[in-house]
Structure 1
Amino acid sequence: MSHPQFSSERPLLIYLHGFLSSPQSYKCELLKAWLLEHRPDIVFYAPLVSPYPGEASVVLGKILQDSIGNHLGPIGLVGSSMGGFWSTWLAEQHRLPAVLVNPAVKPSRFMPKYLGQDLQPYSGEMQTYRLAPEDVDKMRQLEGSVVAPLAGRYWLLAQRGDETLDCREAEQFYQGQRQTVEEGGDHSFQGFARYAEALVDFLFPPDNN
């Protein structure tokens, strides 16, 4: 996917997918389609996020630096699962608004179980990854840079039925931020489309456009 449309005054929404997912994920495609139909004024950008934290931090950091330096309009982030961590990491650096969907708060906790395995993206790309212990160490280092009080402006969207992550950790971490926590559901966040319009209004308040 090409870089976002820099030098535009249009809002720029950057979507960050989850671990071993891709820009072709269901929520990403759903949000992209919704914006095309209802908010074509918004520039949508969904980069492929590496599962290697060192590589991901460099690439995402460069994308945001370029966006901040060249884009004339407001910038907002949406992150799902691991993408929720990355959205928070970036929002803290640049004081950006971010919507977090069933986010991973401490990804280093689940990464060790993937060590030594050949990992392939859930979305079917012909690519194989293999995490090493130093990847877990790097993630712990990155986590240590995201501490309270939070500098970004956040909206947590979580479902208690998440079978992958315990949403109570996210509720605690984002305490004091806007939160919508639903009973039931699952890690994919059932009914995500219900929040598309409100999500956009949170990132880009109508009075600011």
Structure 2
Amino acid sequence: MILYLHGFRSSPKSFKAQLLAARVAELGGANDWRCPMLPVSPLQAIALAEAQVAEAQVAEAVKGARGEVTVIGSSLGGYLATYLAEKHGWRAVLLNPAVLPERDLSAYLGEQPLWHGGGSIVVEPRHLDELRALGVSAITKPERYYLFAATGDEVLDYREMLAHYPGVETKLIEGSDHAISEFANYVDDVLAFCGMTPAERV
């Protein structure tokens, strides 16, 4: 199954999540796709992600199947994905992942508007503490990771990403931006790493 974790102030309505969901459906894997709306609390977000995977695995077990899990994380979702990959041995695709979000989000304490559909979240100091608790000082199995890092990311420094994920398969995108606006060009590449390719689904 594929679990997608969106970024800070984002949602399952983000364009990357929508592109991936549509392509997964085209390839016949809609039942293997999970993309929850994450709560502002990082610990609660992790618990929700784990619960969704556990629920899907129970359904797979009933069918006599047991598929591998790949978590795709964008920005802050990439930070959470790294924690989950290390804890559970899952594969992970990281899209301009946050490396030190407790530092970066310290400027966003208080009420913050969401990017999609209106509404807001309230970022509290305890959320920064939760992020620190979820930090992975060093990844253990680089072969489980696929990093997408854009040199033109206007929010996060791609050099921190490269330093934090040594030895992993990396797509270094010259230019672009934090959102990876040309992400449609990479959707099939991401899904191939997840084990889902058109050749296997026809």
Normalization by structure 1: what TM-score?
0.84
Contact preservation (8 Å) 1:91, 1:151: no
Contact preservation (8 Å) 2:3, 2:53: no
Query: RMSD of the alignment, in Å?
Result: 2.1
**Structure number with higher helix proportion:** 2
Superposed CA deviations along residues 133-155 of structure 1, whole A, max 9, x for unmatched, are 11111111111xx2324246000
CA distance, structure 2, for counterparts of residue 51 and residue 92 of structure 1: 22
Q: Which residue of 2 aligns with 1:62?
A: 51
Q: Which of 96, 101, 119 in structure 2 is aligned with 1:102?
A: 96
Amino acid in structure 2 at the alignment position of 1:133: P
Q: How does 1:130-149 map to 2 (within 5 A)?
A: 130-143=122-135, 146-149=136-139
SS at 1:185 equivalent: coil
SS at 1:119 equivalent: strand
Is 1:113 matched up with 2:104? no
CA distance, structure 2, for counterparts of residue 55 and residue 157 of structure 1: 26
Q: Which of 21, 24, 38 in structure 2 is aligned with 1:32?
A: 21
Count, aligned residues:
193
Q: Which residue of 1 aligns with 2:115?
A: 122
Q: Which residue of 1 aligns with 2:63?
A: none
CA distance, structure 2, for counterparts of residue 74 and residue 57 of structure 1: 18
Q: Which residue of 2 aligns with 1:19?
A: 8
Q: Which aligned runs of 4 or more in structure 1 are off by greater than 3 angstroms?
A: 64-71, 205-209
CA separation of 1:46/1:149 partners in 2, compared to 1, >3 Å: closer, same or farther? closer
CA separation of 1:122/1:149 partners in 2, compared to 1, >3 Å: closer, same or farther? closer
SS at 1:92 equivalent: helix
Percentage of pairs with the same residue: 35
Gaps of 5+ in 2: 61-65
Contact preservation (8 Å) 1:161, 1:185: yes
Superposed CA deviations along residues 77-96 of structure 1, whole A, max 9, x for unmatched, are 11111111111111111111
CA distance, structure 2, for counterparts of residue 90 and residue 69 of structure 1: 18
Q: How does 1:187-206 map to 2 (within 5 A)?
A: 187-204=178-195
Q: Which residue of 2 aligns with 1:176?
A: 167
Q: How does 1:68-87 map to 2 (within 5 A)?
A: 68=57, 70-71=59-60, 72-87=66-81
CA distance, structure 1, for counterparts of residue 156 and residue 51 of structure 2: 28
CA distance, structure 2, for counterparts of residue 83 and residue 131 of structure 1: 16
CA distance, structure 2, for counterparts of residue 69 and residue 108 of structure 1: 34
Superposed displacement of residue 15, structure 1: 0.9
Normalization by structure 2: what TM-score?
0.87
CA separation of 1:89/1:82 partners in 2, compared to 1, >3 Å: closer, same or farther? same
CA distance, structure 1, for counterparts of residue 185 and residue 112 of structure 2: 32
Q: Which residue of 2 aligns with 1:41?
A: 29
Contact preservation (8 Å) 1:102, 1:159: yes
CA distance, structure 1, for counterparts of residue 187 and residue 111 of structure 2: 35
CA distance, structure 1, for counterparts of residue 74 and residue 121 of structure 2: 20
